């Protein structure tokens, strides 16, 4: 790991108060924020650099020049309000807030860590005005705020940054029409038009087309400019200030990865063979050093031009091993450390989907711009004519699947669980009500990984789909079971099936042979004192860890894998039964077991899912193996 | 009740095969369908005439002339596909299918009745291609079907009718962009541009603005014409047939209520003092006779012009008393007949909201074009500056509320439960995650009224919101409790509150004094043999009826009202406990009671909610008082 250091707030202050052109100073500050965001993401091990970099000139221009929050303060009800709807660009936003003294260095160093900075914007962080990361909600929120300001006679404009791919979400167009109807001239949006989605161009995924014409047709005043040119940004925003009562949109043409030559679109896309590498994730050490050196050199030049000398750096404490809890000694803590294998259940899913595609000509795969994460790129390459890319538009995807199912196709519908089960819920109900069959792949289900935060952690999806007639919800515990359950869903299930899938590496290889029987679980470990029922690789590992720890205490805990989450035929109604949910305690497997007559005690994700490393988040909820061992021992002692 | 009769299919056949201009004959058939739809709605006691009438020229033109389904049959995989996305116009669609011999007269006479015709389109009815009624999904479905046809090399165009107000739903714009991107030239939409929403103009609710420009900007080929002119419709569709690979949109300018002078917009709107009366509901006897006579006279003229003599009528059997089950004798069936009072809990809600508005300047009310049904018109009139009309855009409404809540307002958010809890679910989660407070009024919760069908009956909303942190879900049983719970939600609750509200008249006045204590229910009737716990006026009535019937059998059933649906402190853990859900058996009060340690047996809405009269639907699910009495007696005997 390279040594990490932020450029200090004092150095940023020096730039702000230096003589010289305001716009050149803003550009320099944006580069400083790029470097600090790069360092924060490297320390965190993940985060979105590409869109942080494309957005940063705009963010800095707004927070450091155009808007009044730096002076008025975030508590002023008359303040200007700025937030990012896409939220992926939050490392850059945090870096800008650090430069303003709103976020301290110690917290910037704890990006995606417990009690640090959430992986997507959260109002618990100073200076963050709205929770985002679930795409497409920001303009609506801004509309509400602008309407409220006008209603209450308060000052301040409301500025919402959106992505360009994000505009595929239909909610944006609801908000755009509503804001125009209500003549909310104090609402501005800035489209960070960096032309790329997660790894392909917007025009390739679902074309935005003539965005200016669209926004104008929706009743907005529209300007377009280079989003890295502070002179032009100043002009546009100045015009907005004196504009009429139509809401205002700036299409800011930007470059994804801006500021680091090898991350910049379009060169980076060409280099990646058509896929953009720098959307998410931390760069490896070598790429990090190259990027840092490039930024540092340009920043040093900028400081020199302003006659400021060298920028000052403050080193970060070395990152705590993210697999270990802070303050915990390395020795003796093994039980709390999730081991990690190279097995990803989602890879088994992607591979089996290709096999099933060969067997079933009516099988079609639908994607909402998460093809790489959901491992359906393999299917896309194998059967491009049966792959329907829907863009970031989950509702449209599900209803399109419904149409396909009515006409004899078997749609396999992919997105993250938190988006698919929730945003497209009514569409799934409608599809199900037609009596057709679809397979819903709920990726990234459960608490872990916990770095991206609440918007991405799905702890309600079982409850969201559980009351649907003719819907079976399953979650496989390892690769073999993933293949078997997907095959069961495609070949044997009569009605809809939702398959929850963990997105991260499996923490251990669980011995499940891939034979599945609807409603029936399998015993992973025997034990006479109590039974712990769970599902999915993350929680099965914690359950087994708990059993191993309890064994040392003389307690024999049986562990049962129950991949059928809403239709259970328990064979263990006798004795003490505990359920470990990778879900809220409400509406999960535990409730299903109780309906089946098992008096189960539930350990689930209580409250809001914690952001942090896996170890931190599991511990925060008392769901790591060690905590579970303690909780079960206490319960058995009562 | 006037005598009711349909014009026969034979008469329609005579028009189809008569000499004379094809377009005049289509116009005449559309009028016959208007008359038959009018009769079906009158028989049903409810249904949407205004948009049936505006759409009928288009529907008849498509089904009788432009498309091939009448010949190819609805089983042909190469058939043209037509369906209505809004679905409210289904009485007209059914009448058109009757004329084609697809729906028999006996079934047309059973609109909104069990085993008849669903109140919104359902694929269980012959000729219906898609379930709709939940707005905004149709273009997506059509997109899926058109993509599938092309993929499989099948013939046939896909035509989706949409409302104009319906276009406020964001999903439409997702589908429009996707269809253009995929160059689905075989997909056509027809916008029934009748300029009215449920009771006001689209331009007043949320303006559509320049719809042509919007659709063109989204990449569609667009035509506009008079939607009642069959010559023009023929021209436009003929052009679409030979058009390119862009999807095609026809903006059909129509008149809501077309064909019955006093129902026609804009005259009817003026007569209604700015509110349109004929969107939903059956006309009274006098209005029905006026409408029928006007249509019948014009139809008779049309037949005469074609030299066909008088149209033939077939009388309908007199409608079965909708409060009684068919075949059930009037005497002795009292227990099964819901009595009906003039108490509407939703009226109490609307009145109390106005009072609370006077007390709280920060209280704002948001609506998604259901202001009359949700009884928030009173608030709108009293405090127009604190009323935010969002149009049919539930996601935007919730996120706008989130923005308002972040800035010190208390938003009270209104829509039907089936739309609000489901379509805006992720937005509610996001709002809740910001730690602010909102009140969600879930109108039309539960099984009854059952006439509109699955799209409107909300039997999953408790499960959809139950796993949210900081969300209390309640349902009041009478007017006093409604006022008390709303007041508690506004004045005392710390976090979000969802209030389920029955939309129909309360079947009995329940003795609840309006004192509420979080988590605690109240005993409505004592009884030593078992306890039946329920909530809401509909099911409390059935519970009390069951208790009355069981008393005659010597069984003493206590009835407990439990308005707190996800946070319960039961005082009745002893003895046999039954729960009567106005909800699916999964995720409702019963699950909450079990989590609280009560071993409750659940009676809920199993499977898909039945469409029919209240008595029919309750009986179909075994949830009417008499069925419950039997089920409880059987359970106690075991």
Asked if A207 and B218 come within 8 Å (Cβ–Cβ), the reply is: no
**Which residue is closest to A362 within chain B, CA to CA?**
B152
* CA–CA min distance B131, chain A (Å): 6
Residue A291 to residue A286: CA distance in whole angstroms: 9
Best of A138, A169, A174 to disrupt the B interface (most B CBs within 10 Å) is A174
- Closest by Cβ to B466, choosing from A217, A418, A463: A463
CA trace torsion B296, B90, B618, B338 (10° rounding): -40
Q: Of B137, B403, B427, which has the smallest distance from its Cβ to A427's Cβ?
A: B137
Chain A hits for B435, Cβ within 8 Å: 123-124
Mean pLDDT across B393-411: 98
By Cβ distance, the residue of A147, A218, A426 closest to B423 is: A426
In B, minimum Cα distance to A182 occurs at B206
Q: Which of B51, B92, B449 is nearest to B280 (CA)?
A: B51
Position B334 scores a pLDDT of 43
Q: Do A137 and B214 touch (CB under 8 A)?
A: no
B488 touches chain A (CB under 8 A): no
Q: Are B288 and B38 in contact, with CB atoms under 8 Å apart?
A: yes
Min distance A122 CA to chain B CA atoms (Å): 7
- Taking only Cα atoms into account, the Rg of chain A, rounded to an integer number of angstroms, comes to 25
What's the whole-model pTM score? 0.97
Residue recorded with tokens 């064979």: A571
Is the Cβ pair A587, B591 closer than 8 Å?
Answer: yes
Q: How far apart are CA B605 and CA A385, in angstroms?
A: 41
Percent of chain A surpassing pLDDT 90: 92
Q: Nearest chain B Cα to A212, which residue?
A: B217
pLDDT of residue B471: 98
Mean pLDDT across the stretch B272-284? 92
**Alpha-carbon gap, residue B26 to B33, rounded angstroms:** 10
Contact B608 A395 (CB under 8 A): no
Q: Which residues in chain A (128-157) have CB-CB distances under 8 A to chain B?
A: 129-132, 134, 136-138, 140-145, 147-149, 151-152
Which runs of consecutive H residues, i.e. helices, occur in B369-424? 377-382, 394-406, 417-423
CA distances from B161 to A127, A391, B28 (A): 46, 24, 21
**Is B402 within 8 Å of B390 (Cβ atoms)?**
no
**ipTM of the predicted structure?**
0.97
Residue A442 with chain B: CB contacts under 8 Å: none
Judged by CB atoms closer than 8 Å, whether chains meet at A123 and B430 is answered as no
Check residue B337 and give its pLDDT. 56
Yes or no: say if A32 and A299 are a contact pair by the CB < 8 Å rule. Answer: yes
pLDDT at A638: 87
State how far the alpha carbon of B613 is from the alpha carbons of B323, B324, B580, in Å: 7, 9, 19
CB atoms A217 and B210 under 8 Å: yes
Q: What is the pLDDT of residue A321?
A: 64
Residues of B in contact with A206 (CB under 8 A): 177-178, 181
Contact B302, B67 (CB under 8 A): no
Cα-based distances in Å from A212 to A11, A208, B146: 39, 10, 28
Mean model confidence pLDDT for chain B: 95
| Nearest residue in A to B594, CA atom | A594
pLDDT computed for residue A325 by the predictor: 57
Give chain A positions within 8 Å (CB) of B141. Answer: 399-400, 402-403, 406
CA distance B71 to chain A (A): 19
pLDDT of residue A324: 59
Residue B250: beta bridge partners?
B190, B223
- Cross-chain Cβ contact A169/B169 below 8 Å: no
Asked if A194 and A54 touch (Cβ cutoff 8 Å), the reply is yes
A427 interfacial to chain B (CB closer than 8 Å): yes
Spatial CA neighbour of A578 closest among A600, A597, A598? A600
CA distances from A560 to A341, A585, B20 (A): 21, 18, 76
Rounded distance, CA A94 to CA A108, Å? 7
* CB nearest A178 (choices: B385, B390, B411): B390
pLDDT (0 to 100) of residue B317: 84
Would you tell me which residues 349-408 of chain B have a C-beta closer than 8 angstroms to some C-beta of chain A? Answer: 364, 385-386, 388, 390-391, 393, 395-404, 406-408
A607 touches chain B (CB under 8 A): yes
- Return d(Cα A516, Cα A513) in angstroms, integer: 9
**Percentage with pLDDT > 90 across chain B:** 92
Please name the helix (run of DSSP H) or strand (run of DSSP E) that holds residue B442, with its range, or none. strand B439-443
Beta bridge partners of B425: none
Q: Which of B404, B425, B469 sits opposite A148 (nearest CB)?
A: B404
> Is some CB atom of chain B closer than 8 A to the CB atom of A122?
yes
User: CA nearest A608 in B: which residue?
Assistant: B469
Task: Say yes or no for a CB contact (<8 Å) between B178 and A390.
Answer: yes
Structure tokens given for A52: 């942080």
Contact of A466 with chain B, judged by CB distance below 8 Å, is answered with yes
Which residue in A144, A208, A584 is closest to B401 by CB distance?
A: A144
Q: What CA–CA distance (Å, rounded) separates B130 from B128? A: 6
Q: Is A84 helix (H, G, I), strand (E, B) or coil?
A: strand
CA distance to partner chain B, nearest, from residue A261 (Å):
31
pLDDT of residue A335: 45
B182-194: pLDDT as tens digits:
999 999 999 999 9
* Among A residues 211-230, those touching chain B with beta carbons less than 8 Å apart: 213-214, 216-219
CB contact (8 A) between residue A429 and residue B422: yes
pLDDT at B333: 42
Pick among B141, B186, B583 to test the A interface (most A CBs inside 10 A): B141
CA A527 remoteness from chain centre: 38
- Residue B241: which of B161, B159, B182 has the closest Cα? B159
Angstroms from A411 CA to nearest CA on chain B: 10
What pLDDT is attached to residue A336?
Answer: 53
Give the pLDDT score at B332.
44
Of B180, B209, B607, the CB nearest to A469: B607
Taking contacts as CB-CB distances below 8 angstroms, the residues of chain B near A433 are: 122, 131, 454-455, 608
CA distance B13 to chain A (A): 30
Instruction: Count chain A–chain B contacts defined by CB atoms under 8 A.
Output: 341
Between positions 2 and 41 of A, the ones with CB within 8 A of B are none
pLDDT of B396 = 98
Closest Cα of chain A to B606: distance in Å?
Answer: 8
Q: Which residues in chain A have their CB less than 8 angstroms from residue B446's CB?
A: none
Name the residue facing B608 among A140, A419, A469 (closest C-beta).
Answer: A469
pLDDT in tens, B192-228: 999 999 889 999 999 999 999 999 999 999 999 999 9
A207 has a chain B CB within 8 A of its CB: yes
**Residue B512: what pLDDT?**
92
The pLDDT of residue A509 is 93
Q: Is A145's CB within 8 Å of B419's CB? A: no
Res B324: pLDDT: 59
pLDDT at A331: 46
All residue ranges of chain A with pLDDT < 50 are 331-335
Would you state the pLDDT for residue B199?
83
Residue at token pair 């077991």 = A593
pLDDT over 70 at B375, yes or no = yes
- Judged by a CB distance cut-off of 8 A, whether residue B591 touches chain A is yes
A557-561 and A522-525: which strand pairing? antiparallel
């Amino acid at each position: 790991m390279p040594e990490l250091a932020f450029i200090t707030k004092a150095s940023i202050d020096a730039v702000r108060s230096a003589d010289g052109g305001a716009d050149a100073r803003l550009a320099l500050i944006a580069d400083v924020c790029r470097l600090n965001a790069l360092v924060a993401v490297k320390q965190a091990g993940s985060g979105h650099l590409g869109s942080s970099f494309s957005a940063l000139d705009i963010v800095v221009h707004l927070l450091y020049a155009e808007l009044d929050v730096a002076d008025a303060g975030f508590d002023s009800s008359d303040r200007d309000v700025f937030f990012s709807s896409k939220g992926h660009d939050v490392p850059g936003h945090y870096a800008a807030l650090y430069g303003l003294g709103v976020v301290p260095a110690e917290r910037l160093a704890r990006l995606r860590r417990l009690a640090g900075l959430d992986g997507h914007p959260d109002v618990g962080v100073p200076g963050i005005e709205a929770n985002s990361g679930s795409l497409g909600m920001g303009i609506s929120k801004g509309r509400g705020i602008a309407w409220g300001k006008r209603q209450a006679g308060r000052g301040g404009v409301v500025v919402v940054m959106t992505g360009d791919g994000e505009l595929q979400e239909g909610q944006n167009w609801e908000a755009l029409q509503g804001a125009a109807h209500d003549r909310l001239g104090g609402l501005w949006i800035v489209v960070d038009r960096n032309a790329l989605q997660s790894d392909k161009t917007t025009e390739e995924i679902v074309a935005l087309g003539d965005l200016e014409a669209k926004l104008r047709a929706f009743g907005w005043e529209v300007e377009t400019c280079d989003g890295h040119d502070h002179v032009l940004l100043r002009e546009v925003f100045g015009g907005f200030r004196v504009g009429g009562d139509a809401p205002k949109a700036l299409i800011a043409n930007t470059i994804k990865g801006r500021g680091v030559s090898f991350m910049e679109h379009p060169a980076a896309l060409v280099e990646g063979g058509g896929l953009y590498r720098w959307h998410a994730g931390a760069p490896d050490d070598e790429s990090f050093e190259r990027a840092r050196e490039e930024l540092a050199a340009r920043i040093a030049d900028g400081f020199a031009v302003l006659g400021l000398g060298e920028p000052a750096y403050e080193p970060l404490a070395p990152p705590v091993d993210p697999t270990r809890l802070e303050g915990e000694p390395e020795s003796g803590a093994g039980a709390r450390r999730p081991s990690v294998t190279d097995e990803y259940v989602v890879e088994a899913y992607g591979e089996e989907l290709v096999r099933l595609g060969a067997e079933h000509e009516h099988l079609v795969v639908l994607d909402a711009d998460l093809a790489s994460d959901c491992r359906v790129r393999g299917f896309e390459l194998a059967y491009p004519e049966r792959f329907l890319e829907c863009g970031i538009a989950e509702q449209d995807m599900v209803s399109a699947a419904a149409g396909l199912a009515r006409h004899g196709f078997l749609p396999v519908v992919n997105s993250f669980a938190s988006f698919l089960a929730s945003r497209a819920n009514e569409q799934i109900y409608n599809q199900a009500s037609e009596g057709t069959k679809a397979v819903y792949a709920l990726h990234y289900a459960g608490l872990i990984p916990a770095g991206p935060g609440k918007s991405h952690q799905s702890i309600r999806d079982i409850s969201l789909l559980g009351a649907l007639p003719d819907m079976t919800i399953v979650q496989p515990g390892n690769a073999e079971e993933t293949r078997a359950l997907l095959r069961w869903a495609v070949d044997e299930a009569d009605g809809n099936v939702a398959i929850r899938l963990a997105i991260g590496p499996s923490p251990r290889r669980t011995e499940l042979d891939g034979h599945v029987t609807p409603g029936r679980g399998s015993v992973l470990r025997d034990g006479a004192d109590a039974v712990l029922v769970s599902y999915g690789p993350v929680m099965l590992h914690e359950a087994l860890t708990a059993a191993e720890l309890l064994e040392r205490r003389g307690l024999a805990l049986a562990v049962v894998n129950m991949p059928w989450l809403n239709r259970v035929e328990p064979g263990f109604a006798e004795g003490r039964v505990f359920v470990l949910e990778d879900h809220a305690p409400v509406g999960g497997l535990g409730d299903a077991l109780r309906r089946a007559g098992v008096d189960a005690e539930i350990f689930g994700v209580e409250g809001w899912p914690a952001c942090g490393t896996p170890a931190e988040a599991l511990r925060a909820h008392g769901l790591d193996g060690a905590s579970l061992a303690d909780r079960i021992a206490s319960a058995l002692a009562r």
